Amino acid sequence: MSTFPNVRFRFAAALALIALGATALTGQAQRRTRVELFFPNPPGALTLKCDFHIHTVFSDGLVWPTVRVDEAWREGLDAIAITDHVEYHPHKADVSTNLHRSYDLALPTAKSLGLILIKGAEITRGEPPGHLNALFVEQPELLNVTNNSAAVEAAAQQGAFLFWNHPGWKQPFEKPVWYAEQGEFYDRGWLKGIEVVNGDEYYPLAHQWALDRNLALLGDSDIHSPTGLEQAPGGPTHRPMTLVFAAERTAAAIKDALLARRTAVYWQNSLIGSEEFLAPIFYQSLELKNPEVAIKGTGTVLLQFYNRCPVNFELERDGALAEVGLPRTATLWAGRTSLLQLTGKSSSLSETRSLALPYRVTNLKIGPARALPVELRIKVAFSP
Amino acid sequence: MSTFPNVRFRFAAALALIALGATALTGQAQRRTRVELFFPNPPGALTLKCDFHIHTVFSDGLVWPTVRVDEAWREGLDAIAITDHVEYHPHKADVSTNLHRSYDLALPTAKSLGLILIKGAEITRGEPPGHLNALFVEQPELLNVTNNSAAVEAAAQQGAFLFWNHPGWKQPFEKPVWYAEQGEFYDRGWLKGIEVVNGDEYYPLAHQWALDRNLALLGDSDIHSPTGLEQAPGGPTHRPMTLVFAAERTAAAIKDALLARRTAVYWQNSLIGSEEFLAPIFYQSLELKNPEVAIKGTGTVLLQFYNRCPVNFELERDGALAEVGLPRTATLWAGRTSLLQLTGKSSSLSETRSLALPYRVTNLKIGPARALPVELRIKVAFSP
Amino acid sequence: MSTFPNVRFRFAAALALIALGATALTGQAQRRTRVELFFPNPPGALTLKCDFHIHTVFSDGLVWPTVRVDEAWREGLDAIAITDHVEYHPHKADVSTNLHRSYDLALPTAKSLGLILIKGAEITRGEPPGHLNALFVEQPELLNVTNNSAAVEAAAQQGAFLFWNHPGWKQPFEKPVWYAEQGEFYDRGWLKGIEVVNGDEYYPLAHQWALDRNLALLGDSDIHSPTGLEQAPGGPTHRPMTLVFAAERTAAAIKDALLARRTAVYWQNSLIGSEEFLAPIFYQSLELKNPEVAIKGTGTVLLQFYNRCPVNFELERDGALAEVGLPRTATLWAGRTSLLQLTGKSSSLSETRSLALPYRVTNLKIGPARALPVELRIKVAFSP
Amino acid sequence: MSTFPNVRFRFAAALALIALGATALTGQAQRRTRVELFFPNPPGALTLKCDFHIHTVFSDGLVWPTVRVDEAWREGLDAIAITDHVEYHPHKADVSTNLHRSYDLALPTAKSLGLILIKGAEITRGEPPGHLNALFVEQPELLNVTNNSAAVEAAAQQGAFLFWNHPGWKQPFEKPVWYAEQGEFYDRGWLKGIEVVNGDEYYPLAHQWALDRNLALLGDSDIHSPTGLEQAPGGPTHRPMTLVFAAERTAAAIKDALLARRTAVYWQNSLIGSEEFLAPIFYQSLELKNPEVAIKGTGTVLLQFYNRCPVNFELERDGALAEVGLPRTATLWAGRTSLLQLTGKSSSLSETRSLALPYRVTNLKIGPARALPVELRIKVAFSP
């Protein structure tokens, strides 16, 4: 709309001082609001919401780099890496292939919004080894060599954090194969993480490999379009994210946490990670409003759980208690208070007891087929 | 669906112990979830969300008393009073006119959900004096006398908290008139509050009277239908509420707070009350994420305000600063982080200064035509 | 809010003629808006949306009868039956047990909104035979006899349309049992329909019985609370409905259609009924915007289907074509235009062909395990 | 995500034929669904929804050209013009300045989705004359000359349809000024349209000029970001659109209609245009479900209006009738059935009369301060 856009807004700002003005300016800033996703912090760390796999027009993406920052800020992220392909530039007839540009162009917007921007690049090869992301790489152009190992080594030598992207992609039934190339990169200490989630896909086998080989768990969007256009009707309302449990809110702390495998994945309505991180998220997200209740005989009582975090916790009963009957399943809805109904089993019990209600959270995955076990602790005054 | 509904659910619960079962039970409890409305507490008090004007089938309402408790719990309320008309029973051909029944029937549900239920009644006369609500009344049948003053006195003698309902109703242009009757009730110390909001209506003149005569501010729904049916398309998503600033979460503390005029009103996207209560709600609802910023010359910086409360704060500039230009208006969106853009005014300033950005919040009304004045405190490092 | 509510609104209306007025009046009517659910008509009939199982405070429901009409009109229904329990009146200490009252009270509202109100009653017995609804019954009090058969016969003798309610209720795993009692009612020609859906439950076995014994399919809400409170978070946004394919929009035509078994069920995101009715709904709901397309070699083309009806059609490929590859699954979203991508299989084909793309619609159930087969007819101009 | 994206999807498609496959493929197409905006056609024309002012990375926009087509198709548009700035290329360090590229790159996507893509360019000068859009221009590079008149003439000579963009922009209080330059372009027959709406702004004065000087009314988005990011919280859910009343669904017919001034503007919840076009949209959008009603004495009756179009019609009473009282205001909600309550005025009238209820539609603007007058025709059987 403007030959000199900055001039336009400065002009408006000037007007604002002498008149009613400034609606354009206000409008511009006011269009941008941020959703806050609340995930509790584990002991001694901050939970940072990150997306480490993102494209722009500088490879095969469809938006300008600043858009990626704006989207990420609005969607509640703390850090992103723009990871344009090193070797693949379908827009090269029209757009520069300089591997530094997307980062450089996005940086001022990231600074103005306080979003951490990490320099990254996607090593893009046929299968095997497929694609790998290199984060914290300073000279992405050095990765542009023909030999696969040499490219990965060039990233490792820059101190990059390297992970395997969408490992099931192009494999029959999306099932990943651990090729010799991956073995080599892993054995040489270059490969340190793996996407267990990429976009709509979750790879259970990759999840198992991560557990067996101590790889950092990553879950990324791999967005090419504007994020609004990536969303299917009825689909999840957030992109996949990597939760990084970092000592502080800096790029350096994120790197340290990645190297220490201190991550989990937020995907659709689930969290994927180790019990060490998922258990505190679960317990600190919940506020039991009435931890001390009374049950008369075989009567009932309603426990009220407020769930602060954006994940609906899906509970499944995981044992039985002598004193009370428990619902087989229950959902503790995100951002709401939900009810759990207990039923007394005895007509004669007359005592106050501390109980630990045994459940597992089926959408908090500590392994490909393992749900987080939890205990909901309450005190019940039983009377006949 | 059931000749013996309790039996039904107990049967299902029993099944649950021996089989998959309990879906009916779970379903029943799981349908009920509660929205949490976060309003900060002023010093030394709890902010309780209340609705003191509600009807059931026991007068001219259209739902069973338990529904009122269920609705209120789901909508985030802490306390309600069911205030069926003392003298008006259009359903009397089919429904008991016993003035205790609606309270008695609702009480077990209130206890099971931890909602405070206050016994009330609506004295329902022609204008003047119109309608008055009596809260904390134990013998509502004593109010059923012909003489208006005698009815109000009968409530006062029971220690009721009395307030004037929808004062503009049936008046030309909904403008309230302070009739001799109101004067009498007020002078004799019976009338202690006034609805400045009833349903969709706000009465500025009643607001002014409340300030002038030290009446408690009340804002109530006066619902007759299920709350879902009271909502207009495009209308507010919550009912009007009286915020009571009480020492603890009990009926007695609510009464004390009402007597001490410690209330405000949450209506549509506004709060109505004194600066004493609205200022803490405003300041404690906001988290300024970057209270220390830097501006270079005539450059800009974006302040990030997270607003925890359910009201979008509508800011209007209320003064000017020598150092920075301020947007004339801004909205700090409920449950989101919003931006406020500052623009440096000097190319030579080189110093860190503490600033108080002068605004008023147009939808936080401390008088019929007075917006809450606020100061947003930041520290800015200016450099040329 | 009113001693004489009608007076109130008349007063306001009067005011409206001399002043600005009438906001209360307008407000009242304006709060009530109706969602329109578009289901195409099969040949020679109108598709009427009905709910034949509804309770009020006059049995164990929780709302006044007029609320049921208001809710139904707003939710897009054409007809309802209020079916309070004949024998079960848990509110009898406070509410009349007269079995005519809920109908009589609801009728004026039904007339003012043009909703068809059918007089009904629920025969409420232990299992077997459980509960049966009798529609078009004029003297429900005659059903209040001890003997089960006698009660059902008393309904049949009044010309009632009788159906079996929630047949799986209280049965292990919600699996219905065809008891001797049901056999008797069926053999004597009294039992003419069965709920294959009641609230959240679908009973596949009941569906099969309906096919085998030529019973009308019914799907009802069985609501007791206000409909807004029956909805679970994340649950369906409409109540279960019986679609009746009637010759005209009258109660008599509905009765004729029920007797002729001309019904289907709209439940969650599915339709349950015979191919005779579901096929026209499917085909007439869809508009293929580009029925004639061109494919070059092994290129692709996008078909655009607009789906007028409120059900998302879930397609599953049901065969293969020599000329084009088809997606295995596709959703044609309700109220939207969706895409179906075809891929040419031949590099040499040069001809225009009419194709019938073979799919089944997994959520249009013509039997408990049978999806409606459909053919999407297009014309494709192939070129090398 | 791919070195050779087309290969990827073809590979998946191939897999689909031999296995379950094709989820990626399906996912890709299934993410894209189109909202259908229903605006009735005036006699002898189709109502096409268009946006003639759009930017991409090839000037100062922030998305790739194909995104503009995808967004437009999803948002229910029939035609767009990409109008990158002729002279302003802030991305020129990285992106080609070739003025043909955005059109050429977007065209294949437009063809695959059946969207009409019009070649355009924005002549971008200081004020006056500010900015003008040239549609249907084949050689945009010829417009890149220093002299303002020469640039505009170069467009006119190519047969371009030229209109004045955001005429109030950079003017005090956003109030447009008709400068000598505009006079020249108009007098020479070059200037044929004017944006009365650009983004959030409506220019009443420009609307008046359009009426006085027979300029085509245009309402455009002028989007630079992805459309999802242009939306303010609580703001309109659609972009501004120019409705073109064209003889057929082709670019040529759109040009003819623009030249014949056959347009209107859809902005926020309003339509701006002449009575010739807005009246048929109003009347054909409405279905009065009960056009023949009965009123007894001073009783009431509810008219039921279903409104098919996406605009809520805001009615204001515009006269009085002897027979019935009318609400002063009423909203006929988009996509819903709304009620209008009539009240009989006579206790003695006994006759059936045809009435024309006099209203104006305040958000259907036929002039800057003129609302569309309408008559709602009904037949009322009055009885005493």
Confidence of residue A1 (pLDDT cuts 50, 70, 90): very low
The pLDDT > 90 percentage for chain B reads: 90
State whether residue D318 is helix, strand or coil.
coil
Q: Which residue among A60, A166, A200 places its CB closest to the CB of D5? A: A60
Residues of D in contact with B233 (CB under 8 A): 333, 336
Confidence of residue D18 (pLDDT cuts 50, 70, 90): very low
Average pLDDT over residues A272-288: 98
Average pLDDT over residues A290-295: 98
| Predicted local distance difference test score (pLDDT) of residue D9 | 31
pLDDT at A212 over 70: yes
Q: Which residue among A233, A234, A333 places its CB closest to the CB of C233? A: A333
Buried b (16+ CB within 10 A) or exposed e, D194-217: bbbbbbbbbbbbbbebbbeeebbb
Distance CA A143, CA A268 (A): 33
Distance CA A88, CA A126 (A): 12
Average pLDDT over residues A117-139: 97
CATH topology of domain B286-383: Immunoglobulin-like (2.60.40)
**Conformational region of residue C107, where left means phi above 0, alpha means psi within -120 to 50, and beta covers everything else:** alpha
Q: Which residue among D67, D125, D231 places its CB closest to the CB of A62? A: D67
Q: Are D90 and D62 in contact (CB under 8 A)?
A: no
pLDDT at D373 over 70: yes
Q: Are B258 and B135 in contact (CB under 8 A)?
A: yes
Which positions 145-204 of A are in contact with C (Cβ < 8 Å)? none
Confidence of residue C16 (pLDDT cuts 50, 70, 90): very low
Record: contact D229-A74, CB cut-off 8 A? yes
Average pLDDT over residues C286-309: 98
Residues of B in contact with A28 (CB under 8 A): 341
Distance CA A58, CA A70 (A): 17
Record: contact A30-D125, CB cut-off 8 A? no
pTM for this prediction: 0.94
Q: Which residues pair with A138 in a beta bridge?
A: none
Tens digit of each residue's pLDDT (9 = 90 or more) over D143-196: 999 999 999 999 999 999 999 999 999 999 899 999 999 999 999 999 999 999
Tens digit of each residue's pLDDT (9 = 90 or more) over B258-308: 999 999 999 999 999 999 999 999 999 999 999 999 999 999 999 999 999
Residues of D in contact with A224 (CB under 8 A): 1
pLDDT at D23 over 60: no
Residue C348 DSSP code: S
pLDDT at D4 over 60: no
Distance CA A137, CA A156 (A): 9
Confidence of residue B1 (pLDDT cuts 50, 70, 90): very low
State whether residue D155 is helix, strand or coil.
helix
**Tokens 């003005």 belong to which residue?**
A21
Average pLDDT over residues B189-210: 98
**Closest-CA residue to C134 (of C101, C116, C167, C161):** C161
Distance CA B313, CA B374 (A): 11
Distance CA A71, CA A78 (A): 11
Nearest CA in chain A to D1: A222
pLDDT at D10 over 50: no
Tens digit of each residue's pLDDT (9 = 90 or more) over D29-64: 778 999 999 999 999 999 999 999 999 999 999 999
Confidence of residue C231 (pLDDT cuts 50, 70, 90): confident
Tens digit of each residue's pLDDT (9 = 90 or more) over B3-32: 333 323 333 333 222 222 233 444 567 789
Residues of D in contact with B333 (CB under 8 A): 233-234
Q: What is the DSSP string of B118-132?
A: EEEEEEE-STTT-EE
Average pLDDT over residues A291-315: 98
Residue C239 DSSP code: -
Q: What is the DSSP string of D246-300?
A: ESSSSHHHHHHHHHTT-EEEEETTEEES-HHHHHHHHHHHEEES-SEEEEETT-E
φ and ψ at A284, to 5 degrees? Answer: -80, -15
| Predicted local distance difference test score (pLDDT) of residue A234 | 82
Q: Which residue among B233, B234, B333 places its CB closest to the CB of D233? A: B333
Record: contact A301-B112, CB cut-off 8 A? yes
Our CA angle for D90, D91, D95, nearest 5°, is 145
Which positions 262-291 of C are in contact with D (Cβ < 8 Å)? 289-290
| Predicted local distance difference test score (pLDDT) of residue B289 | 98
Task: Kindly state whether A5 is in contact with chain D, defined as any CB-CB distance less than 8 angstroms.
Answer: yes
Record: contact A64-D60, CB cut-off 8 A? no
Confidence of residue A23 (pLDDT cuts 50, 70, 90): very low
| Predicted local distance difference test score (pLDDT) of residue D159 | 98
Record: contact D36-C306, CB cut-off 8 A? yes
Q: Which residue among C63, C85, C91 places its CB closest to the CB of B62? A: C63
Tens digit of each residue's pLDDT (9 = 90 or more) over C338-374: 999 999 999 999 999 999 999 999 999 999 999 999 9
Task: Kindly state whether A70 is in contact with chain D, defined as any CB-CB distance less than 8 angstroms.
Answer: yes
pLDDT at A332 over 70: yes
| Predicted local distance difference test score (pLDDT) of residue C27 | 56
| Predicted local distance difference test score (pLDDT) of residue D119 | 98
Which positions 36-55 of C are in contact with D (Cβ < 8 Å)? 36
Tens digit of each residue's pLDDT (9 = 90 or more) over D213-222: 999 999 999 9
Task: Kindly state whether A23 is in contact with chain B, defined as any CB-CB distance less than 8 angstroms.
Answer: yes
| Predicted local distance difference test score (pLDDT) of residue D233 | 84
Average pLDDT over residues C202-211: 98
Record: contact C341-D10, CB cut-off 8 A? no
CB–CB contacts below 8 A, B to D: 8
Task: Kindly state whether B328 is in contact with chain D, defined as any CB-CB distance less than 8 angstroms.
Answer: no
Lowest mean pLDDT among C3-7, C66-70, D290-294, D350-354: C3-7
**Closest-CA residue to C151 (of C101, C195, C87):** C87
φ and ψ at D7, to 5 degrees? Answer: -60, -40
CATH code of C285-383, in short, is 2.60.40.10
Tens digit of each residue's pLDDT (9 = 90 or more) over C119-137: 999 999 999 999 999 999 9
**Closest-CA residue to B212 (of B190, B194, B185):** B194
CATH code of D284-383, in short, is 2.60.40.10
pLDDT at B352 over 60: yes
| Predicted local distance difference test score (pLDDT) of residue B27 | 56
pLDDT at A13 over 70: no
Tens digit of each residue's pLDDT (9 = 90 or more) over A350-371: 999 999 999 999 999 999 999 9
Task: Kindly state whether B336 is in contact with chain D, defined as any CB-CB distance less than 8 angstroms.
Answer: yes
Task: Kindly state whether D233 is in contact with chain A, defined as any CB-CB distance less than 8 angstroms.
Answer: yes
Record: contact A112-B302, CB cut-off 8 A? yes
Nearest CA in chain C to B2: C124
Average pLDDT over residues C226-232: 91
Distance CA D312, CA D40 (A): 15
The pLDDT > 90 percentage for chain A reads: 90
Describe the crossing of helices A180-187 and A148-157 by its angle, rounded to 10 degrees.
Answer: 20
| Predicted local distance difference test score (pLDDT) of residue B10 | 31
Distance CA B235, CA C30 (A): 11
- E strand or H helix that includes residue B277: helix B275-285
Residues of C in contact with B173 (CB under 8 A): 19-21
| Long-range pairs, C104-112, Cβ under 8 A, ≥24 | C105/B94, C105/C64, C105/C65, C105/C66, C106/C56, C106/C65, C106/C66, C106/C68, C106/C69, C106/C82, C109/C66, C109/C69, C109/C70, C110/C69, C112/D301, C112/D302
Residues of A in contact with B330 (CB under 8 A): 26, 29-30
Record: contact D331-C114, CB cut-off 8 A? no
The pLDDT > 70 percentage for chain A reads: 92
φ and ψ at A54, to 5 degrees? Answer: -150, 140
Average pLDDT over residues C153-180: 96
Chains contacting chain B through 3 or more C-beta pairs under 8 A: A, C, D
Nearest CA in chain D to B335: D233
| Long-range pairs, B181-187, Cβ under 8 A, ≥24 | B181/B128, B181/B129, B181/B148, B181/B149, B182/B128, B182/B129, B184/B149, B185/B129, B185/B132, B185/B149, B185/B152, B186/B213, B186/B215
Q: Are C93 and C123 in contact (CB under 8 A)?
A: no
Superfamily the domain B32-268 falls into: Metal-dependent hydrolases (3.20.20.140)
Chains contacting chain D through 3 or more C-beta pairs under 8 A: A, B, C
Task: Kindly state whether D233 is in contact with chain B, defined as any CB-CB distance less than 8 angstroms.
Answer: yes
| Predicted local distance difference test score (pLDDT) of residue D27 | 56
Q: Which residue among C15, C94, C227 places its CB closest to the CB of B96? A: C94
Chains contacting chain C through 3 or more C-beta pairs under 8 A: A, B, D
Structure-block tokens of residue B241: 């509420």
pLDDT at C10 over 70: no
**Tokens 């009046």 belong to which residue?**
C25
Which positions 300-319 of D are in contact with B (Cβ < 8 Å)? 312
Domain boundaries, chain D: 1-31, 36-268, 284-383
First-to-final CA distance of chain D = 76
| Predicted local distance difference test score (pLDDT) of residue D355 | 98
Q: Domain D36-268 belongs to what architecture?
A: Alpha-Beta Barrel (3.20)
Could you count the other beta carbons within 10 Å of the beta carbon of residue A189? 9
CATH code of C35-268, in short, is 3.20.20.140
Residues of B in contact with C28 (CB under 8 A): none
Average pLDDT over residues D274-297: 98
CATH topology of domain A34-268: TIM Barrel (3.20.20)
